[in-house]
Amino acid sequence: MSTAAPAPTPALIRAAALVRHLDPRQWPLALRVVVVTTLLSIMAILTVGTYLSSVIADGLYEQRRDRVLQESAEIRADLTQSMTQLSGATSTQQQDAANAFVQNVGGGQDGVDSRDAALVPVDPSGAVWPVASDRTVFEAVDEDFSAAVAEDPEAVIWQSIGRTDETTGRTHPAILVGTRVVVPGAGSYDLFLVFSLEEEQETLSFVQRVLLGGGGVMMALVVGIAIVVARLVTTPLKRAARAAERMADGDLTSRVEVSGADELARVGESFNDMARNLEQKVDDLTELSHVQQRFASDVSHELRTPLTTIRMASSVLVAQRQQLPGELQRTVELLAAQVERFELLLSDLLEISRFDAGAAVLEADREDLDDLVVRAIDDVRPLAGARGCLLDVRLAGHGMDVVVEARRVDRILRNLLTNAIEHGAGAPVRIQTASSEEAVAVLVQDHGHGISPEDAQHVFDRFWRADPSRARTLGGTGLGLSISVEDAHLHSGWLQAWGQVGEGAVFRLTLPRRPGMDIVRSPLTLERSFDPDAEESPPSSATGEIVISPDLLPDLDETEDLAADDLAHGDLSAAVPEAPPPDAPQDLPGAAAEDVPGGAVEDVPAGSGFTPGSDREDRIPGGADETRPS
């Protein structure tokens, strides 16, 4: 058993919104350009600054190292000379001389405390004791370094070390130098010197601060340049976007201001050329549409006069048909039927031309939709009796007040009911009403030949037939459902179709409580089971509205040709097995979802009384039963 997904919490909603804001693809183009330029510039400045700092540090270190080695050689020579002069002196004199030399060397150079010295006799039993200007020199010399000095007495050994300032606790870089001094008659001594690199470190820190400050200034300049460049690029694009939005809103005169002769200027010029061509094409199509509308309207009006004469002549022939031979009686009946169909076609053409011209006006009043449904059922009762069709009426009974134009809604209902009866193959037809707070709905479901979901997208097209190869012999004009859907849209409502081949078809009319209100959900489900015993499921979609794409719209030229062909031939040559009674409606076209115009059943006499609210079963002529709960 499946369980519904938990509703998102406010924290999750805020997190999702934050993720969307952090997605660079959602940022404006100018912001992306500035951010990318800034990041790349930071990477470049850091790379160059790191390289320069490394080169400067190596240069300072090598320069200081060379000077240290040179000073160490000079100090070694001075020590050798001093100790040689004391070769015959007493041990006290030698110790004093060693102390004086170490203090002198450890005092620094030019008054700068930059080095320390230590003198260690190789022979511990000698007359001179180890002496140092700073005791930390002994700590800096390890066994490996002493061994390296002893291994090569003539060389000057050095290595980099770190010295900790006991006062501040900071560690400074330094160079430890060691060498061995051999004094004939006075013994051998290991000389250790520690040269501080604190001055070079300060110089390097200063250079790094300068580089960092310069990088910050450079970064600010780069960001400013990126903003200027981004504005230069995005400003023409924004103008083009605003012009495109105005065109999308219907202002085909919108143009882009073009300046310069660069690539962006060429884009603007191309956009303006496209806009001019589009405006011209739309003007041409609008004019063509107006011509076609005027043509249909004018032809309909012009044909009324000869049609009236033909109808009068047909009426005379019908009145005198009993005096005619048998074969001529059949011809007169065919003529009367086709003249009536021709008149209906002209009425529908005039009505559809009003919609095309935008001249249709809604004259709405408060009505009870159940009453309108009952009235339409009374109109189609004789047709249902003739077809042996049971009308399964399920009215809501309350809450069906709606502001509509009764004439237009009645035309929609009669079209839907007549279609369902004609194509229901004698099976029951369900008529159901329901309401919600915002809308009311009527559903007509038959169990006839049915239509496919693909054909359901075309049933409201003008002159559409499910099987174009079949002649239109059932009396419809091919415009009834087109007029009905326009009537529904005039009320701000929906008229939708759905079905299954071999199962049946479902048509649903949904109207708002007042014209102009938005409908979110219909009270009745459109896609439903064709099993009479199946329970109705609640609506599963917000609208269920059929999407009509531009490629599904009717071709005006094609519909005009089809209408002209029907007007020229009138389907008089169609093989009709039997002539229906003059007062009976003609059959619909072969398509399961074809329509009958609003006036197709106006002259049908109402059947036995079908009173709203009665709790009884009525007998329809023809043997069909109709039941309706109160």
Q: Report strand pairing: 391-394 vs 624-627.
A: parallel
Structure tokens at 316: 């005379």
CATH number at residue 264: 1.10.287.130
Specify which residues 120 forms β-bridges with: 190
Q: 87 with 185: CB under 8 angstroms?
A: yes
The structural domain count of the chain equals: 3
CB contact at 8 A, 453 and 564:
no
Both 350 and 420 in one domain: the answer is no
DSSP codes of every residue in 187-243: EEEEEEEEEE-HHHHHHHHHHHHHHHHHHHHHHHHHHHHHHHHHHHHHHHHHHHHHH
Same domain? 52 vs 84: yes
In a domain, 574, yes or no: no
The reply to whether 328 falls in a domain is yes
Asked whether residue 341 is assigned to any structural domain, the reply reads yes
Residue bearing tokens 């006069």: 305
Buried b (16+ CB within 10 A) or exposed e, 253-265: ebbbebeeeeebe
Residues 411 and 350 in one domain: no
- Residue among 70, 64, 1, 19 at smallest CA distance from 202: 64
Residues 387 and 350 in one domain: no
Residues 478 and 600 in one domain: yes
> Residue 224 — φ and ψ, nearest 5°?
-60, -45
452/597 same-domain check: yes
Q: Are 595 and 510 in the same domain? A: yes
357 and 376, same structural domain? Answer: no
- The verdict on residue 219 lying in a domain is no
Same domain, 459 and 605: yes
pLDDT of 5 reads 55
Do 350 and 412 have their domain in common?
no
Residue where one domain finishes, among candidates 204, 233, 266: 204
State the pLDDT at residue 176.
93
Q: Are 432 and 347 in a shared domain? A: no
Select from 318, 346, 361 the last residue of a domain: 361
Averaged over successive runs of 10 residues, the pLDDT of the chain (630 residues) comes to: 57 69 75 88 92 93 91 88 76 82 72 74 78 86 89 89 82 91 79 90 92 92 90 85 86 84 83 89 82 71 78 84 82 83 74 71 87 91 88 89 90 90 87 91 90 83 64 57 86 90 90 88 87 57 39 42 41 36 36 34 34 36 36
Burial of 584 (0-12, 13-18, 19+ CB in 10 A): middle
Q: Residue 143: give the domain boundaries.
A: 30-204
CATH number for 122: 3.30.450.20
pLDDT value for 372: 92
- Same-domain check for residues 413 and 455: yes
**Cα 219–chain centre separation:** 36
